[in-house]
């Protein structure tokens, strides 16, 4: 990044490219403080456009998105906070405008779902691994009494079976 | 092992069936339809110049007293043209009270549209900047709000109204709301 900044020509080229890529994002807007500017960009980055539904307000070229950017800029200039702006939009357009939905009783599955799935997957993995481990280590060692009986039978049955006692 | 077979095969099958059912019912939904948080709430207040007579201010207050429709329209909106004959018919023949919110439209264009195609509206408010549209959560014209006599939004339809929507949704609701209003007045 530092080398880029040191070369103004390259930087300008990069900026020009960004401008072409996201024309809506570079509407000139003046804010009195850098905090307001940051808040504005944060808000339009995380609020959703209702017309082009898979874009945020910053990216969308829809006229409504521009109107909403104007409205948000106005509210930010008036010194309204982040929550206030979000509440303003949610009151009109519903939770749909939020890319980050609130945690409520009807949304807990949305938030917890991936972790529940992860936990279920891990549990299944552990179960399978354990079972496989058991299969690899082979059958349990035979009962010593049964073994002795088997040896006696083998040894007593055929005297010519040399090394019967030496079975492993 | 055979005792576990129902679990081994049944469980994944059940999970698959559940997922398939979930996705299947999602297929039938229109992702463009965003439920309005305004349903059940009082109509957002506005006061705008009337389209025909800019000196006259019309607004939420003027819509009280009878169950009515507020139709958001614009001359640049092709789907509005599609629903327009139906609005004309229900206004003329069925006596439905329809107010208009003319959204982000030039006055000349809007008036030419009404003069050419007919005017089903008691009045149309001229929302040139679309600011009132934002307060009403408008995101795609045409949109139609059903208001009860007390000025509460009872239903919102996004997109053009066709015969089916009118017959199955709006007409029965308006009839019910008119009946409610009649009881209130008594």
- The 10s digit of each residue's pLDDT in B24-70 is 988 888 877 888 899 999 999 999 999 999 999 999 999 999 999 99
Q: Are residues A17 and A72 in the same domain?
A: yes
Residue B127's CATH number = 3.40.30.10
Domain count, chain B: 1
Final residue in a domain of this structure, among A69, A97, A125? A97
Q: What is the CA radius of gyration of chain B?
A: 22
Residue of B nearest to A128 (CA): B8
Residue A166 within a domain: no
Range of B76's domain? 47-185
pLDDT of A26 reads 65
Q: Looking at the structure, do residues A83 and A135 belong to the same domain, yes or no?
A: no
Tell me the per-residue pLDDT of A128-141, one tens digit each, with 9 for 90 and over. 999 888 887 777 77
Residues A57 and A24 in one domain: yes
Q: Which residues of A touch B131 (CB under 8 A)?
A: 67, 71
- Interchain proximity B140–A50, CB inside 8 Å: yes
Are B36 and A68 an interchain contact pair (Cβ–Cβ within 8 Å)? no
Whether complex ipTM tops 0.90: no
Which of A97, A119, A134 terminates a domain? The answer is A97
**Nearest-angstrom CA–CA distance, B39 and B29:** 20
> What does B132-154 look like in DSSP terms, one character per residue?
HHHHTT--SSSEEEEE-TTSBEE
**Where residue A11 falls among pLDDT bands split at 50, 70, 90?**
low
Domain count for chain A = 2
Q: Which A residues 46-65 touch B at CB under 8 Å?
A: 50-51, 53, 63-64
Interchain CB distance below 8 Å, B104 and A63: yes
On whether residue B38 sits in a domain, the answer given is no
Taking the model in full, what pTM does it have?
0.75
A14 falls within a domain: yes
Tokens matching residue B69: 């429709």
- Give every residue of chain B whose pLDDT is below 70, as ranges: 1-4, 183-186
pLDDT of the residue at B33:
81
Judge: A50–B35 Cβ closer than 8 Å, yes or no: no
| B18: closest CA of chain A, how far (Å) | 15
pLDDT tens track for A108-122: 888 999 999 999 999
HEC string for A23-43: HHHHCCCCCCCHHHHHHHHHH
Range of the domain at A124: 108-155
Instruction: Answer whether residue B109 is part of any domain.
Output: yes
Spatial neighbors of B123 by CB under 8 A, at least 6 apart, are B50, B51, B52, B56, B58, B62, B99, B100
Taking phi over 0 as left and psi of -120 to 50 as alpha, with beta for the rest, A111 belongs to: alpha
The pLDDT score that the predictor gives to residue A1 is 42
Q: Of A72, A97, A122, which closes a domain?
A: A97
């Amino acid at each position: 990044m530092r080398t880029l900044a040191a070369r103004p020509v390259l930087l300008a080229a990069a900026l020009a490219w960004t401008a072409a890529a996201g024309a809506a994002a570079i509407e000139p807007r003046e804010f009195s403080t850098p905090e307001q500017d940051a808040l504005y960009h944060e808000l339009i980055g995380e609020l959703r456009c209702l017309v082009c539904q898979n874009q945020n307000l910053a990216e969308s070229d829809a006229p409504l998105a521009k109107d909403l950017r104007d409205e948000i800029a106005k509210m930010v200039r008036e010194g309204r906070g982040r929550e206030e702006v979000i509440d303003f939009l949610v009151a009109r357009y519903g939770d749909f405008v939020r890319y980050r939905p609130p945690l409520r009783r009807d949304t807990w599955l949305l938030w917890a779902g991936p972790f529940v799935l992860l936990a279920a997957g891990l549990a299944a993995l552990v179960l399978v691994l354990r079972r496989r481990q058991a299969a690899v280590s082979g059958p349990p060692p035979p009962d010593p009494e049964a073994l002795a009986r088997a040896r006696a039978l083998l040894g007593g049955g055929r005297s010519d079976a040399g090394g019967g006692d030496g079975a492993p | 092992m055979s005792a576990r077979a129902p679990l081994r095969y049944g469980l994944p099958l059940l999970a698959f069936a559940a997922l398939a059912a979930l996705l299947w019912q999602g297929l039938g939904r229109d992702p463009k339809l965003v439920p309005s948080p305004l349903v059940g709430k009082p109509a957002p207040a506005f006061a705008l110049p009337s389209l025909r007579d800019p000196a006259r201010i019309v607004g939420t207050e003027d819509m009280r007293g009878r169950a009515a429709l507020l139709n958001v329209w614009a001359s640049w909106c092709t789907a509005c043209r599609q629903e327009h004959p139906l609005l004309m018919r229900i206004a003329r023949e069925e006596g439905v009270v329809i107010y208009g919110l003319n959204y982000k439209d030039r006055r000349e264009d809007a008036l030419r549209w009404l003069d050419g195609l007919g005017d089903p509206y008691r009045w149309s408010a001229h929302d040139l900047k679309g600011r009132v549209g934002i307060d009403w959560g408008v995101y795609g014209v045409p949109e139609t709000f059903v208001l009860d006599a007390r000025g509460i939004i009872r239903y919102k339809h996004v997109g053009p109204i066709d015969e089916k929507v009118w017959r199955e949704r709006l007409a029965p609701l308006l009839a019910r709301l008119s009946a409610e209003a009649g009881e209130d007045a008594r």
